[in-house]
């Protein structure tokens, strides 16, 4: 266990950041799941709209440090190719 005040504070801050990052990651996955369900349903217009919303969330997660830029770009590229194929 931490003895110094600064170490105790760091533990508190880490726990808080972990909660925030977990919530952001969960939100991102929800948006990606919506795109997946629209792709499987075969509805092109809804899939495009879901992809547009997911794109915003992907790049927001990059800005917040949840996901690497190239990972987000690759994910978006693969999703957009699948939406385009509908």
The CATH number that applies at residue 22 is 1.20.58.110
Report residue 58 as tokens.
């992907």
Instruction: Give the mean model confidence (pLDDT) for residues 45-50.
Output: 94
Instruction: Count the Cβ atoms, other than its own, within 10 Å of residue 72.
Output: 20
**Residue-wise pLDDT tens digits, 64-80:** 999 999 999 999 999 99
Give the domain extent around 77: 5-84
Pairwise CA distance, residues 25 & 86, whole Å: 27
pLDDT reading at 1 higher than 80? no
Tokens of 29: 């996955």
Entry pTM: 0.84
Q: How confident is the model at residue 82 (pLDDT cuts 50, 70, 90)?
A: very high
| Contact predicate 75/25, CB 8 Å | no
pLDDT of residue 33: 96
How many structural domains is the chain composed of?
A: 1
């Amino acid at each position: 266990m931490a003895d110094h005040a600064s170490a105790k504070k760091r533990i508190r801050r880490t726990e808080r950041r972990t909660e925030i990052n977990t919530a952001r990651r969960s939100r991102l996955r929800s948006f990606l799941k919506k795109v997946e369900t629209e792709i499987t349903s075969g509805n092109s217009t809804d899939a495009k709209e879901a992809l547009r919303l997911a794109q915003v969330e992907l790049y927001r997660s990059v800005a917040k440090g949840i996901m690497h830029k190239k990972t987000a770009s690759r994910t978006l590229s693969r999703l957009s190719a699948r939406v385009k194929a509908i």
